[in-house]
């Protein structure tokens, strides 16, 4: 139990279910004096809805954020900020059929065991991807706070359904193109191929996965708290808390395992009177601390578990094998929706660690 809050100095406590009344989050530790309104959060929430409805589920979640506490005269007060969206389109009845037949790839079965049958199973309940709305709301505040210190975080798709982005991207392209494409890939040509790949899977009643990359720039050197709260460790932890993430790597990542030390080490040089490294195989993290180079991390997203194809499962009440076709509105690929979520959780960890490193004061003043 007690897994619904996280962070040490930028703490978030999350509540709500897929088909309950709302999804919300309380943020404790945000410094006083940060200008903040619903607009800042709504802008991030809107990123969850790709412009081409075909590639995501029919359920268009028009989530309108409400701030319940912690803001006064347009600024944060130092008090906890509670923010939520009300659930609207919930149609619980659809889910009653699967109550006794756990859907492969979902948390249905272990959740039923863990909570003794009391958990809210409607739409996955507490295990639904919908919960990530809370991550995005909290992440919006983290991003606003980081922006005060010129830190920016960008996530974008680099692979979907075996379509890989091999081209090198510029920060300019990422900034300009990511949210122009339905799949959140900054390369417009690859984005188109990825979209086709999704539509093909959809037609087959199947789904595809992909890889999201995230970059954070202007993170000062020395952020992170080894031995046990290393910056990469905390980023990875939050990424694995995002439903469907099955792998995380920094910089060269798994490829580093195949390099020689002389190839993988990033040599120090001086550029513009600053110490930088010629390469960034470390992904901006050395010994659990930020190195001053951009933080670079990738997360592997599995294909959506809900598919209309027939799958083997078990009828729990009778302990007999059976089959299931998952009905309802499902995304044939959740990678596009995962992009703003991954951006958010990386921002959350950075905000927490900037505070822990003493690099953000308790009251913000006279800036921006």
Query: Binding to a copy of itself (CB under 8 A): which residues in 43-72?
Result: 68-70, 72
CA atoms within 13 A on the CB side of 257: 4
Is residue 234 at the binding interface for a copy of itself, with CB under 8 A as the rule?
yes
CA atoms within 13 A on the CB side of 223: 28
Is residue 224 at the binding interface for a copy of itself, with CB under 8 A as the rule?
yes
Is residue 123 at the binding interface for a copy of itself, with CB under 8 A as the rule?
no
Query: Do 25 and 345 touch, CB atoms closer than 8 A?
Result: no
- Which residue of 172, 321, 367, 368 would you call a contact of a copy of itself, by CB under 8 A? 321
The residues near 96 (Cβ < 8 Å, ≥ 6 apart) are none
Is residue 327 at the binding interface for a copy of itself, with CB under 8 A as the rule?
no
Is residue 340 at the binding interface for a copy of itself, with CB under 8 A as the rule?
no
Query: Angle 335-356/231-240 helices, nearest 10 degrees?
Result: 150
Is residue 107 at the binding interface for a copy of itself, with CB under 8 A as the rule?
yes
Query: Do 239 and 153 touch, CB atoms closer than 8 A?
Result: no
DSSP H or E stretch at residue 11? strand 11-16
Residues 195-214 that bind a copy of itself (CB under 8 A): 201, 204, 206-211
- Which residue of 42, 177, 196, 264 would you call a contact of a copy of itself, by CB under 8 A? 264
Shortest CB 220 distance to a copy of itself, Å: 8
**Ordered alpha helix ranges (H), 22-160:** 38-46, 108-114, 132-147
Give the number of other Cβ atoms within 10 Å of residue 200's Cβ.
13
- Which residue of 2, 39, 170, 367 would you call a contact of a copy of itself, by CB under 8 A? 2
CA atoms within 13 A on the CB side of 138: 35
Is residue 162 at the binding interface for a copy of itself, with CB under 8 A as the rule?
yes
Residues 129-158 that bind a copy of itself (CB under 8 A): 131
Is residue 88 at the binding interface for a copy of itself, with CB under 8 A as the rule?
no
Residues 167-196 that bind a copy of itself (CB under 8 A): none
- Which residue of 178, 280, 304, 344 would you call a contact of a copy of itself, by CB under 8 A? 304
Shortest CB 176 distance to a copy of itself, Å: 25
Residues 344-363 that bind a copy of itself (CB under 8 A): 355-358, 361-363
Is residue 331 at the binding interface for a copy of itself, with CB under 8 A as the rule?
no
Quote the Cα angle for 76-79-82, to 5°: 85
């Amino acid at each position: 139990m007690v897994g619904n809050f996280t962070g040490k100095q930028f703490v978030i406590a999350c509540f709500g279910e897929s088909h309950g009344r709302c999804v919300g989050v309380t943020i404790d530790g945000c410094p006083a004096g940060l200008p903040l309104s619903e607009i800042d959060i709504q802008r991030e929430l809107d990123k969850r809805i790709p412009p081409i409805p075909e590639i995501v589920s029919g359920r268009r979640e028009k989530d309108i954020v409400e701030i319940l506490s912690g803001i006064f005269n347009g600024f944060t007060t130092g008090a906890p900020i509670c923010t939520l969206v009300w659930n609207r389109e919930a149609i619980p009845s659809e889910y009653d059929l699967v109550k006794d037949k756990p859907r492969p790839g979902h948390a249905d079965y272990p959740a039923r065991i863990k909570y003794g049958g009391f958990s809210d199973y409607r739409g996955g309940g507490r295990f639904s991807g919908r919960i990530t709305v809370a991550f995005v709301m909290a992440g919006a505040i983290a991003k606003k706070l980081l922006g005060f210190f010129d830190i920016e975080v960008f996530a974008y798709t680099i692979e979907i359904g075996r379509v890989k982005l091999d081209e090198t991207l510029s920060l300019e392209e990422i900034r300009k193109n990511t949210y122009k494409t339905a799949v959140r890939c900054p390369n417009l040509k690859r984005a188109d191929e990825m979209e086709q790949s999704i539509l093909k899977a959809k037609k087959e009643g199947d789904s595809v996965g992909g890889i999201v990359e995230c970059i954070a720039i202007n993170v000062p050197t020395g952020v992170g708290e080894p031995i046990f709260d290393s910056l990469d460790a905390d980023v990875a932890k939050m990424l694995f808390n995002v439903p469907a993430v099955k792998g995380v790597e920094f910089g060269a990542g798994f490829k580093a395992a195949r390099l020689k030390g002389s190839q993988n080490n990033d040599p120090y040089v001086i550029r513009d009177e600053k110490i930088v490294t010629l390469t960034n195989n470390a992904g901006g993290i050395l010994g659990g601390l930020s190195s001053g180079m951009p933080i670079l991390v990738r997360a592997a997203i599995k294909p959506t578990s809900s598919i209309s194809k027939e799958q083997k499962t078990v009828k729990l009440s009778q302990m007999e094998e059976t089959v299931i076709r998952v009905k309802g509105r499902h995304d044939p690929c959740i990678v596009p929706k995962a992009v703003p979520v991954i951006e958010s959780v990386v921002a959350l960890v950075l905000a927490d660690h900037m505070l822990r490193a003493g690099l953000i004061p308790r009251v913000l003043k006279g800036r921006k």
